[in-house]
Amino acid sequence: MRLKRSSAAPPLLDPLDSPTPWPFSGGNMDSSIAEPHTNPAVLHAGTDAGAPAPSLPPASARAPDAPPRAPHFVTPQKMHFAEPLPLQNGSSLAGYDLMVETYGTLNAAHSNAVLVCHALNASHHVAGAYESDPADLGWWDNMVGPGKPLDTERFFVIGVNNLGSCFGSTGPMSLDPATGRPYGASFPVITVEDWVNAQARVADAFGIERFAAVMGGSLGGMQAVAWSTMHPERLGHCVVIASTPKLSAQNIAFNEVARSAILSDPDFYGGDYYAHNVIPRRGLRVARMIGHITYLSDDDMATKFGRALQRDSHEAGGDAYQFSFDVEFEVESYLRYQGDKFANYFDANTYLLITRALDYFDPAKAYDGDLTAALASTTAQYLVVSFSTDWRFAPARSRELVKALLDHKRVVTYAEIDAPHGHDAFLLDDPRYHNLVRAYYERIATEIGA
């Protein structure tokens, strides 16, 4: 499905008015679909070639005239796990905590649970707000909640803050029980697979044998893919948004530049800066600035900033260059603001760990680079969504995943959305995107009787 944008705000486009979905029975897929220059319609593949693609709810359900709901308040919980967690690097982590938030009600059959996996700088706080701070909305609050695309009046949604993070789960800032000091640089390198195994223990604690769906965007989408290969019997659907089956060399290079900015900061102290009561703020700022450049498309940056100068052009000399290395352009001011804000709440060691986990994720590595072979164990149905201007995780990477799944005759729904916002599009309010996700979860709800 290719959903196009207009030059104005994204229109409310009903896919029912789009071309008829292309059915595939797996295996014999038109090779053009996997080529970077093509823009496929819906790919709905499976052994039942005539199965319908998900339809959208009526327009009245998608665009109500009622005022928006008040924020729903949530309470995070800390779950402790005493049993050591074996890690991919050969070591293990004993006595660790995971911060968790839940939304909605788990039904009697424990069949309506959905795990939402977070990306680089997000956390367990997926949706809602805290009563003590109603303005602190979850990072995917526009997607998850009562009456939203992932409707918590029908599904029980779990958000888990991954190991190594800095929002309450055990990570480099936590005290190492062996020393009584923060782990710092001694915290083990964590992989996506380690996160998935830790999340599986959270599911066990809730008595959830099988998720209705595992969902994530960006790095969260990698975790969803890993779930489908590592624990195929434990999820019915895998929702992968703006993601990739592995990083390109260019992506790894961006991560390395960001890490180098942190590692070369004099306040980093080899990762043990906590003892010096300092923050490698300069390195974090640059790392975040690099990241933000990759999250936005060229068109989006041109629309937001262009070559506008930061100062008021109506002031005396406001439209003239100052011939200095201070902030001249609005885009410079934006990047510095984002860098400063990030350095105030994120941990540098966590940034190193998570970007390395991104680098290492490659399920095909154990199969001599054969992604089709790596996905042989999968049994879930898939929704894969990409965005046309996302050059960080380009649509071609999603199509690579789709083709490998179709080789196994898996049921796959694929949408490539023509949106101007780059990689960040998966976090934004695009009615076409949200309608698609809503329709997909409507189908899941029907399957499980939610």
Question: The dihedral of CA 401, 402, 405, 410: what is its sign?
Answer: positive
Q: Is 16 exposed, middle or buried (0-12, 13-18, 19+ CB in 10 A)?
A: exposed
Q: Which among 235, 249, 240 is positioned nearest to 401, based on CA atoms?
A: 240
d(CA 355, CA 243): 14
DSSP 150-204: EETTT-EEEEEPPTT-SSSSSSTTSBPTTTSSB-GGGSPP--HHHHHHHHHHHHH
- Give the SS3 label for residue 11: coil
d(CA 72, CA 61): 20
Query: Would you call 390 a catalytic residue per the annotation?
Result: yes
The alpha-carbon radius of gyration of the chain (Å, integer) is 22
Catalytic entry in 123, 165, 174, 218:
218
Query: Would you call 423 a catalytic residue per the annotation?
Result: yes
Query: Would you call 218 a catalytic residue per the annotation?
Result: yes
Q: Which among 221, 222, 226 is positioned nearest to 241, based on CA atoms?
A: 221
Catalytic entry in 265, 390, 424, 430:
390
- Give the SS3 label for residue 46: coil
Q: Which among 291, 156, 142, 158 is positioned nearest to 227, based on CA atoms?
A: 158
Phi, psi of 133 (to 5 degrees): -150, 75
Q: Could you tell me if 114 and 211 are in contact, meaning their C-beta atoms sit under 8 angstroms apart?
A: yes
**206 DSSP 8-state letter:** T
Q: Which among 139, 157, 154, 158 is positioned nearest to 61, based on CA atoms?
A: 154
DSSP 303-366: HHTTT-BSS-TTSTTTTS---SSS--BHHHHHHHHHHHHHHHH--HHHHHHHHHHHHH--TTGG
Catalytic entry in 118, 231, 421, 423:
423
d(CA 124, CA 168): 9
Positions marked active-site:
218, 390, 423
